[in-house]
Amino acid sequence: MRAIRRVAPWLVLASLAILAGGCGPRLVIPRGRLTKGGEAFRCENGLAVHLTFITLAATPSPAPADAAQAPTDAGAYPAEYYRDGTFRVVGVDGKGLPPGKYRVAVQAIKQKKDLLEGAYGAQNSPLTCEVKGASEELHLELGEAKGVSSDPEAASGSAGPARREREQ
C-alpha cells in the first residue's frame, strides 16, 4: 500500500507532463526564396525586404489605412530575410509558425518607401502558400510590380500577376 502511495503522485505528474506536451499547435520554421523573373530578389544598395506570413483566416477586414502593413494579431508571422534572397519564417518568438495556408505580404523598402507600392500588402498580396513542414522549401515569385526589378538599381516594369510555387 505504501508503494502505491509513493508511486501514484509520480504517475499523475508523468501523465500530466505527457498530456501537456501534446497541447498547442506544432510549429515549424520553413525556409524559402523570393525571386523575380526567376532571379533571386536580393537586398542590395540600401534595399530592405520584409516578409510576413498571414494566416488566411486571420486576414483582417476592412483594409487598414496603410494596406502594406501586416496585421499585428496572432495570425502574422514575420520571416528573417537574407541578402541572397532566401528567408526563414521564424515568427515573433523565434519558434516558427503552425502548418497551414498563408498570404505572404512583401515590402521592398528603400529610403522609407515601399518600392512595391503596396502591391503585396497584407490585404491584397496575390502570394499565397501552404506550409506543411520545416523540410520543404517555399519558392515565392514576384510578378512585374511597378518600380521593382530583381536588380534594385533598375526601377522599371509594369503591374502584373504574381505566382507562388513550392519545390518538392
Say if residue 59's pLDDT is above 70.
no
Indicate the pLDDT class of residue 67, thresholds 50, 70 and 90: very low
pLDDT digits (tens, 9 = 90+) for 114-146: 999 999 999 999 999 999 988 889 999 998 655
From the list 43, 50, 133, 130, the residue with the least C-alpha distance to 96 is 133
Note whether residue 16 is domain-resident.
Answer: no
3-state secondary structure at position 127: coil
9 falls within a domain: no
Among 7, 132, 113, 2, which Cα is nearest to 50's? Answer: 113
Report if residue 4 sits inside a domain.
no
Query: What is the number of structural domains in the chain?
Result: 1
Domain membership flag for residue 109: yes
Flag whether 6 is in a domain.
Answer: no
The three grid cell numbers given for residue 49, joined into one nine-digit string: 525586404
Range of the domain at 161: 27-167
Is 8 domain-assigned? no
State the CATH number of the domain containing residue 38.
Answer: 2.60.40.1120
Q: Could you report the per-residue pLDDT of 33-55, keeping only the tens digit for each?
A: 999 999 999 988 899 999 999 99
Does a structural domain hold residue 13? no
What pLDDT, on the 0 to 100 scale, is given for residue 156? Answer: 30
Q: 33-45 b/e with 16+ CB inside 10 Å = b?
A: bbbbeeeebbbee
Question: Do 79 and 53 meet the contact criterion of CB atoms below 8 Å apart?
Answer: yes
Residue 133 is predicted with a pLDDT of 86
DSSP label at 58? G
Contacts of residues 71-76 at CB distance under 8 Å and 24 or more positions apart, as own/partner, are 71/122, 76/52, 76/122
Query: Does some domain include residue 15?
Result: no
Question: In the chain, count of helices (H) and strands (E)?
Answer: 1, 10
